[in-house]
Amino acid sequence: MTTRKTDRRTLLTPLAAVVVAMCCFSAACVTAEAAEARKPNVLFIAVDDLRPQLACYGQTRMHSPNVDRLAAGGFRFGRAYCNVPVCGASRASLMTGIRPARDRFVGYDCWAEKDAAGVTTLNTHFRNHGYYTVSLGKVFHHARDNLAGWSEEPWLPENAWMGYLLPESRRAWEENRRKTKKGRALGPPTEEADVADDAYADGRLADRAVADLARLAEKDEPFFLAVGFFKPHLPFLAPKKYWDLYPADEIELPDNYSRPKDAPDAAIHNWGELRAYAGVPKRGPVSDETARRLIRGYYACVSYTDAQIGKLLDALDRLGIADATIVVLWGDHGWNLGEHTLWCKHCCFETSMRVPLLVRAPGFEPGGSTDALVEYIDVYPSLCQLAGLPLPEHLDGRSFVPLMRDPGLAWKDAAIGRFIAGDTIRTDRYRFTEYTDRQGDFVARMLYDHQVDPDENVNVSEQAESEPLNRSLREQLHAGMGKPRPR
């Protein structure tokens, strides 16, 4: 009788199969839990000097397909306002979530770590809660502001500001230097060169951002990638193909290319930022030809930056991380294109204070929008809520995430901002601005009724019937203004 040996592998196979199946199930559960527990990435896109000059904001002449794509897939805030209409101060206020005051976040050359010493900035808060934080381009006004909040040294492209490509532009710059005895002397305010996108700084910035997205997507921790584009900040340098989108003979001057009726002198500035450029007169208006050239250059730069933003959005899709990434796009303040005889920012009119703000976040239906009033100090708490982070106690803003869920909610009564000696409040219907001297004494005021005067062409503050409204808005403004730093 032959004894048949039993194959131990045959006996163990059913047991092994059960064990393997249990392990696989357990691993799948862990993976699913890990995926669910992993916080969303953040792509934080800042655009310098960008007013809502975009098709998704009703500007039908604009070519902005990529920003429009973001708006269609996300949420558009129709009435968002910066808190300070100048680069350094606006960014410092947004990144700290603190209101400006007479002695805080005042001007162009502003550092968050100096004006709000000891405050945890937005990027630092995300880094403290497990995010890998990266800064490319212009995020804070000074790249070395708040270095501790970044996981890597902030990166800037070469020639980010005055990257002229044409010999005639460089010659004009040198000639302006020779002629100018005092103050800044810069090159021409516009340039169109028939070059590829990466010949100018923002094209190289986009390329770096795309590469970094691929690198960061491989990390175990979520990322907070801040990308700050330089255009449409002066000088208006963009490849020719973007200028060609806007034929010169189709550029029009604004309807209110004049000073508002009864506006005080305190409200009108000399746009010194533009006057430093070659070919711009040191006083008085620019010619109509120059005005149209400036407007066309601004439009071209908006479309150039839009194309770079498109590269980032495409990268998110290509890498398969779009659905796991919060995307925020914001312009640090508005910009004047001749309205009220003004250029640049630096004022308390709607054109300087109103800004674009778009948010796309996992779990929200695409294509939402609201005309509720929101402020840039609201960005910090909103991003925290979207990412599931706790809110630091120092914040002055309010999360607008409930608005993204229900755009019709009753919301803020006002958006409040200031620039130098002007404090301004925007309610649903009115904008009221008060100007004071260094001692805080009253100098002048403005009141515009947006229901009948949306372009702010007639200051009605000195009309007798406006006095009760002046008092009411002044009280509301003073109650909501940022408090001075403790002494």
Catalytic residue positions? 87, 141
How would DSSP label each residue in 8-70? HHHHHHHHHHHHHHHHHHHHHHHHHHHHHHSPPEEEEEEETT--S-SGGGT-TT---HHHHHH
Instruction: List all residues 6 or more positions away from 344 whose beta carbon is below 8 Å from its beta carbon.
Output: 234, 271, 273, 274, 335, 336
Q: Provide the residue type at 322 as one letter.
A: A
For residues 29-55, b (16+ Cβ closer than 10 Å) or e, as one string?
eeeeeeeeeebbbbbbbbbbbbbbbbb
Percent of the chain as helix, strand, coil, to the nearest 5: 40, 20, 40
CA angle, 270 then 447 then 436, to 5°: 60
Do 407 and 372 contact (CB within 8 A), yes or no?
yes
What Cα–Cα distance (Å) separates residue 44 from each residue in 105, 137, 144, 465?
A: 21, 12, 18, 45
For residues 190-223, b (16+ Cβ closer than 10 Å) or e, as one string?
bbbbeeebbebbbbbbbebbbebbeebbeeeebb
CA distance between the termini of the chain: 104
Nearest to 307 by CA among 231, 362, 256, 380: 231
Q: What is the DSSP letter of 482?
A: P
Residue spans of alpha helices (H) in 79-164: 87-96, 112-115, 122-128
Instruction: List all residues 6 or more positions away from 376 whose beta carbon is below 8 Å from its beta carbon.
Output: 80, 81, 82, 83, 90, 93, 94, 330, 355, 357, 397
Instruction: List all residues 6 or more positions away from 156 whose beta carbon is below 8 Å from its beta carbon.
Output: 136, 137, 138, 143
3-state DSSP assignment of residue 349: coil
